[in-house]
Structure 1
Amino acid sequence: MSSRPLRRRRTLYVVLPILAILIAAGAYFCFPALRLLIHGDRIREIPNAQWVDAHRYDQPWFDAARVGRTDILRALSEAHYPIDTQTSSGYTAVILTAYDEQPEALDYLLGIGADACRGDRNGNTALMGALYKGHTAIAKRLLDAHCPIDQANNSGETALSFAALFGRLEFIPLLAARGADPNHADAQGNTPLQVVLKQGNEESAAALRKVGAIR
């Protein structure tokens, strides 16, 4: 009888458990909701009077923002977690709730005083992220966050630039009504109108002209 099938069987006995561990680890690291399912009860049991070690709870904080777990955000904020903490990419929980379209979590964060104006390491704000993703309901919430209307990212682009660039036409007059400058030039000296015309985006160009873009 050949020993080859036996060797194959032994190999499977070794390989399959390793694959199972790798798959489980991959799922844990790739899915915020799974991590929170595992650790959520422990976080909710933190006494409100306890000051938590900020860095110890960074991952649950950002995971909770991504998946809209307001209960976890509340538990950590009541334990004095610093609510404007940023990831290595500069994302705050507010930015993550905007980008991943989590309105209830966003409302909670804004209600406890989280900074909606803080940009990521590229200077992009939560409002810019919402406009980029097309999350219009989120973007409308963020319009009331009282950030500088012409706040620019590192490339000199404003929220109005994002609205024009990504075709969020309803936001162009909304932003202009709040004082956004339709002729604001970015770091390359280009206005939103010049940028969209280079793209051949006539709809955005027309919307910009209606609110006073002249160059």
Structure 2
Amino acid sequence: MDVYRESSHSQMDYFDEMDIKHGKVLPCHEDRFDSGLESLKDEEYNNLAKELEDLRVVAIETMPKECGTEPWKKVVTDDGDTFLHLSIIHEATEYAFQMIKLSQNESFLNVQNNQRQTALHLAVVTEQPHLVERLLKAGCDPRLADNSGNTALHVACKKGSLACFSVLTQNCHHHLSSILTMPNYSGHNCLHLSAINGYLSLVENLVQLGSDINAQEQCSGRTALHLAVDLQNPSLVHRLLALGADVNSLTYGGFAPYHLTYGRQNMEIRHQLYEKTDQDLLELPESESEESEEEFMSDDEMYDDIKFGEK
């Protein structure tokens, strides 16, 4: 789940370079939100700021001398966020830039919070491509996955963030091929996520960058074309066919994309696939016919014969 916390810029105005060098805190929300920009009330903000200031003081006082003059790198919140995470969440760009500059090629840049999000993940989630570029050039690892198995590029594909997508693909050449083939914990790679969310431009870019257009997602073996039919997205189906998608690719259950048009209303998709699919694949697999009827029924249709409260 792509969740993060945000706050207004005004709450960050009183920080300066010395605050960062001496480990002074950035404000923090008590909870993370899926979307929306929420500002803290003054009282809530002051309480949280005080709590984090107390955390900083305790951490610094108990920290060994070998930690040096940058104790802020060792302090994290209850959510596992570092000061760099917080500066990105709150869009305090200048402070994030300072910390990135002071942490070139250090493991600090790759610290993961309790949701296993790195600073790079959060920069994509909050749509800050300029920070994505700074982090990558400073040594942030784009291969790290969050607790859903998504790398920063997966997140960009899921969100449809073309700006972050462009920065990521242009600045991680050495790891790009492995990231493109990497499935998340739902079995979807970057191409699958772009197809599921209907982002045609990202689908095109991914194929041009070397993504396997016929790669199967790990749950049921569906390709991007299967997913486009599932979503009843004729524009995506047409584009995938133009890019060379295999109409005869079968899922683990033996279904071609054309089979997924049964029980669906979009005749344009059905006609497109009928003309290109091998004749011997036009009929549903006999052994799966009964199961397939259930698969293509909606939840309402599948359970409309169940009656409650009758004796």
Same fold (TM over 0.5): yes
* Alignment gaps of 5+ in structure 1: 1-28
* Cα distance, 1:31 vs structure 2: 2.4
Q: 1:127, 1:159 within 8 Å by CA — same for their partners in 2?
A: yes
Q: AA paired with 1:125?
A: T
In the other structure, the counterpart of 2:270 is none
Change beyond 3 A, Cα 1:196–1:111: same
1:137-189 Cα shifts (integer Å, max 9, x gaps):
11111112232222221122111112211121112222112210111111212
Question: Over alpha carbons, which structure has the higher Rg?
Answer: 2
In the other structure, the counterpart of 1:117 is 143
Q: How does 1:27-42 map to 2 (within 5 A)?
A: 31=7, 33=9, 36-37=12-13, 41-42=17-18
* Cα distance, 1:68 vs structure 2: 3.7
Q: How does 1:48-197 map to 2 (within 5 A)?
A: 50-52=69-71, 54-57=73-76, 58-77=81-100, 78=102, 82-144=108-170, 145-146=172-173, 147=176, 148=178, 149-188=180-219, 189-197=221-229
Change beyond 3 A, Cα 1:41–1:32: farther
In the other structure, the counterpart of 2:231 is 199
How many residue pairs align between the two structures? 186
SS in 2 for 1:116: coil
Q: 1:176, 1:182 within 8 Å by CA — same for their partners in 2?
A: yes
Q: AA paired with 2:71?
A: V
Q: 1:86, 1:92 within 8 Å by CA — same for their partners in 2?
A: yes
Q: 2:7, 2:90 within 8 Å by CA — same for their partners in 1?
A: no
Q: 1:66, 1:102 within 8 Å by CA — same for their partners in 2?
A: no
Q: TM-score, normalised by structure 2?
A: 0.53
Higher helix share: 1
Q: TM-score, normalised by structure 1?
A: 0.75
Whose relative contact order is higher, 1 or 2, with alpha carbons under 8 Å and at least 6 apart? 1
Q: Aligned partners of 1:40, 1:192: CA distance in 2, in Å?
A: 48
Higher mean C-alpha displacement, 128-137 vs 90-99: 128-137
RMSD of aligned Cα (Å): 2.6
Change beyond 3 A, Cα 1:151–1:121: same
- State the percentage of identical aligned residues: 23
* Cα distance, 1:85 vs structure 2: 0.8
Q: 1:70, 1:104 within 8 Å by CA — same for their partners in 2?
A: no
Q: AA paired with 2:192?
A: S
Q: 1:68, 1:104 within 8 Å by CA — same for their partners in 2?
A: no
